[in-house]
Amino acid sequence: MYVFAACAFIVAAVLGSAWVTGQFTTPLVDRTNGYVSELGARDQPWTRLFRVCEALSGLACAFGVALVPRAPMVPAVPRMAREWPGWLALAAFGLLTFAGGLFPLDCAALSDTLCGRTATSLAHRAHLLAGVLSTGAVLAAMAVLSARWRSWASWLFTLLTLAATALTGAGLAAGHGVGLAHRAQLTLIAVWLVYVAMRLLVVDGDEEEQVPLRVAPGRAGGVGGARGQAPDPTIGYGRPHVVEEGTGPTVLITTGPGAAWFHWDAVAVALAAGHRVIRFDRPGLGLSPRSPAPPSLYAEVARLAALSPDHPEQVIVVAHGVACWHAEAFARLHPLCLAKLVLVEPACPGGRRPLPAARSAGRWLPALGGTWGAAALARLTGPAAHRLLTGLPDPSGVYRMGKVPAAVAGEWLARRDMAADLLRLRADKPFPPVPVTVIDAYERDGCRERLPGDLGAALVRLPAAGRPVPLRDPDVIVEAVAAR
């Protein structure tokens, strides 16, 4: 991600410097007194070329910000302090530059004495406004990031760019020298973008460290507790988030796709009176940090085995959705560890072949989940999507974290591989003689109709509804766990 972000900033700098060739291709634009953006005015011969370069430069800059990995917030290390205001300002600069390419000037505002004598279009005014705002945005980005990085080189570029901006304003007021100052300003911005790219390449990999764990204030212990929460689970990799309450026979709960531990609060409340209830978040979901590896059936089986009690105690596994595949594979690979299996709305593995492209894309998603782009996407869409699908609030801000949509996409891309592994296990490993309950709330389906018979399970059929069973019918799951 550091390399891709650096490349994007270099591309933005190169495309943003396309005006250099315009000094020779568009002689009608005054080099001393004319704006650089006049090269893309509608009445100029190479308008499309310079407008496209400006728009692509802005997009490349915004794309570079989206790919920058977020830095851990470790107070002892100044370079790891909060950088998000600076990156946000730089993204705004890129989007405003893109808008400037979309809305060109009607004519060469300063080079053409006849320009502006008639009413200007909305695009002309929008371009001028975007230019002013983008200048303010890039200066803010330079100042904030220079302060966070404590870099004298970045501060030098910032002060020189500020001086060139002031000279541009002075030249506009005096009616002379605007072109020279504006060209100096754009040159300094392009050089600074290259500096940002070089800095990203230097720090590549330095900040991918495991972050220390702490207890979340006000959320430790009890149902829905968040023990072992990282300061920011989005950053780096580490141990999964595990919540444990109650005493008695162990019940291990594994959530459905995209779900978090707190979706099972109602079930855990009822079971904790007579059981030791263990809930956990898979990598990237809930409060668990990301994993550098894509999801796999055997990795999830190993996770269930690690969270299960030591022999000879056996565990009751409750699984939902695609996690039912993990639970079934756990039963086939670790038959002596299992006391009972409760499968809630099990997914159908199907028989479609795995896609190599999906496997390759899945390897990139954990890294993408730690970028500023993923964080912005999650903040804009995550809480609303979660409330729409579940009808519940998000008390811990889980769905505002960029790692969550990346983890959900990674699990979706890994479905075919996990299904293929499960089908091979079914052919190679017999299912142990343990009690199984299947709770199904879907319409009749051939695959789901066969599963209870194949596993010798008791089937509990519920009417189809919009929300998942753990949210609307927790008592059914509790009864299935407690049944002899």
d(CA 37, CA 128): 9
- Cβ atoms of residues 181 and 164 within 8 Å: yes
- pLDDT tens-digit map of 280-296: 999 989 898 888 888 99
Neighbouring residues of 417: CB distance < 8 A, sequence distance ≥ 6? 296, 297, 354, 358, 359
Which DSSP category does 443 fall into?
Answer: P
- pLDDT tens-digit map of 75-123: 434 444 578 889 999 999 999 999 988 888 877 767 666 666 667 788 8
What's the pTM?
0.77
CATH topology of domain 242-482: Rossmann fold (3.40.50)
The ranges of the chain with pLDDT < 70 are: 27, 30-31, 71-81, 109, 111-118, 204-236, 351, 442-446
Each domain of the chain, given as residue ranges in start order, spans 2-203, 242-482
DSSP string for residues in 9-72:
HHHHHHHHTTHHHHHHH-TTS-TTTS-GGGGGSTTSTTHHHHHHHHHHHHHHHHHHHHHSBPPP
Q: Where are the beta strands (DSSP E) in 206-307?
A: 242-245, 250-254, 276-280
For strands 458-461 and 436-440, give the pairing. Answer: parallel
- pLDDT tens-digit map of 430-483: 999 999 999 887 666 667 778 888 888 888 888 777 778 888 888 899 998 888
Q: What angle do CA 296, 297, 298 make, to 5 degrees?
A: 95
302 burial type by CB count under 10 A (0-12 exposed, 13-18 middle, 19+ buried): middle
